[in-house]
Amino acid sequence: MKLAARVGQVPPSITLAITAKGKAMKAEGIDVCSFSAGEPDFNTPDHIVAAAKKALDEGKTRYGPAAGEPGLRSAIAHKLKTENGLDYAAENIAVTNGGKQSLFNLMLASIETGDEVIIPSPYWLSYPEMVKLAEGTPVIVPTTVETGYKITPEQLDKAITPKTKLFVLNSPSNPTGMVYTPDEIRALAEVVVARDIWVVSDEIYEKLLYDGAEHLSIGAASSEAFARTIVSGGFAKAYSMTGWRVGYLAGPVDLIKATITIQSHSTSNVCTFAQYGAIEALESPKSPDYIETMRQAFDRRRQVMFDRLNAIPGLSAPQPQGAFYLYIDISKMGMKSVEFCNQLLTEYHVAAIPGMAFGTDDCIRFSYATDLESVEKGMDRLEKFARSIVGNG
Ligand code: PLP
C-alpha cells in the first residue's frame, strides 16, 4: 500500500531499537543496568488498585462519556483549582488516554496546516511528531546548559512569528529534569500575553520536585496568561499508573469540547474502571504519603547518580530538580549519542537513551527510576567506559 505522506515525516522511535536490544540482552541472561525507563519502578498504590477492583465488581465496565466520568472531571478541576490556582470547572476538563493523548488531541483540535508550534529543545520526543502529524510546523528553539536548558523570554519572543499558534512548555522537564522557577514562568507568561499566543503547559511531573524547587503553572501567572493556557497532566508519573492510561487536558470550554469530539471518533472514553482508580488517587488521604515516599526514594537516587557522575572525567550534567532524569553531556567523548549508547550497552551493559531522540545529539538521558544498587553498579560501568575514552581526566 502507498502510505500517507504524513507517516513518512515521522521517524520510527530511535529509542525503541536500543530499548529492544537491552531487553533482548536481559533475556539472554546478561546483567543489564537499565537507565532507560520513563516510568516509576514502584507499583500503583494498593488503595488505587482496590478502587478500580471495586469499580469492576460494581459493574463499571461499560461505555462512558467520551469526556470522562463526571466524578473524575470534577475531581481534576478541584485539584487544579486548589493545588495549582487554576479556576477550572468540570466542563473545562477532558479525561484522556494518558498525557500523550491529551497533547495529541490538542494538536489535532488547534493546529492548521502551516501553523507554527514553538518547542524548546531538549524536548520530550513526541512533541514535534505530534505537531507534524497535525500538519503544523515545529519550530525548535535550542537551549543551552548555561540557562539550565530553559528557554529565556528573549528566545521565546524572537521565535514568535505571525504563524505562531502555540508554545509548548514542560516543567519539570523530560529529558533534562530542569524546573522553571516561578519568576521564570512569570517572565515567559508576559511574552505569551504580550505576543498573544497560546501556551500548552505539560505538567505531568509536577509532583516530583527536589531541593525545594517550586512548581508554578503558567496559567496561574496572571488572568491574561490563564486565558491563553492549556494544561496537560496525568496520573502516570505521580501515582505510578503508567499502564492505566489516564491523563487530562484542561482549557477553555470550546477547545475542550473540540478535543472531546475528536476523542469520541477515535478512542472514546478512557477505560471506565481505570477512571475510578484515578478518582481515588486524587481524593484519598493516603495518596500524599505515597507520593512523598516515592519522591524521597527518587531524591536519594538522584543525589547518588549526580555525585557519581561529577566524579567521572569528561562527563557532566546540570543537577536535576524534578522528574527522574539526569541529562548527561557527552560532547567530550568523541562520539554522538546513538553510537555512545550503543557502545555503552553492548560493551558495558548499561542501557540509556540517546539525546538525539530529544533533539540534542551531544547528550544522553539516564533515568534514576531504578533501585540504588543498580544506580551504583551502572555508574561504575559508565565510569569505566568514560575513563577508557578520556583516560583519568
Ligand atoms: N509528557 C511528558 C513530558 C512525558 O515524559 C510523558 C511520558 O513519558 C507524557 C507526557 C505522557 O505520559 P502518559 O501518556 O503516560 O500519561
Q: Locate the domains of the chain by residue range.
A: 5-44+288-388, 62-283
Q: Look up the CATH number of domain 5-44+288-388.
A: 3.90.1150.10
- pLDDT tens column, 170-191: 999 999 999 999 999 999 999 9
Q: Please give the number of the atom of ligand 1 that sits closest to the Cα of 101.
A: 14
Query: Which residue intervals of the chain are DSSP H helices?
Result: 5-8, 14-27, 46-57, 70-84, 98-110, 126-133, 153-159, 182-194, 223-226, 253-264, 272-283, 287-310, 337-348, 372-390
Q: CA angle at residue 274 from 268 to 278, to 5 degrees?
A: 110
Indicate the pTM of the whole model.
0.96
pLDDT at 17: 79
Ligand 1 center–CA 246 separation, angstroms: 11
Q: State how far the Cα of 172 lies from the Cα of 177, in Å rounded to an integer.
A: 6
Mean pLDDT, range 345-363, rounded to an integer: 96
**Pair 111, 117: CB distance under 8 Å:** yes
Distances from the Cα of 295 to the Cα of 184, 205, 298, 364, 366, angstroms: 24, 11, 5, 23, 17
Ligand 1 site, residue 316, Cβ cutoff 6 A: no
How far is Cα 99 from Cα 94, in angstroms, rounded to an integer? Answer: 11
Summarize the confidence of residues 361-385 as an average pLDDT: 96
Averaged confidence pLDDT in the chain: 96
- Is the beta carbon of 247 within 6 A of some atom in ligand 1? yes
- What per-residue confidence (pLDDT) applies to 393? 62
Nearest protein CA to atom 8 of ligand 1, as residue = 38
Would the CB of 237 count as within 6 Å of ligand 1? Answer: no
pLDDT band at 224 (very low <50, low <70, confident <90, very high): very high
Ligand 1 centroid–CA 313 distance in Å is: 32
* The two domains 5-44+288-388 and 62-283 share their CATH topology (first three levels equal): no
Q: Phi and psi dihedrals of 137, rounded to 5?
A: -115, 115
Atom 10 (ligand 1): residue with closest C-alpha? 99
Check if 100 has its Cβ closer than 6 Å to any atom of ligand 1.
Answer: yes
Per-residue pLDDT, 135: 94
**Ligand 1 proximity of 202 Cβ (cutoff 6 Å):** yes
Fold of 62-283: Aspartate Aminotransferase; domain 2 (3.40.640)
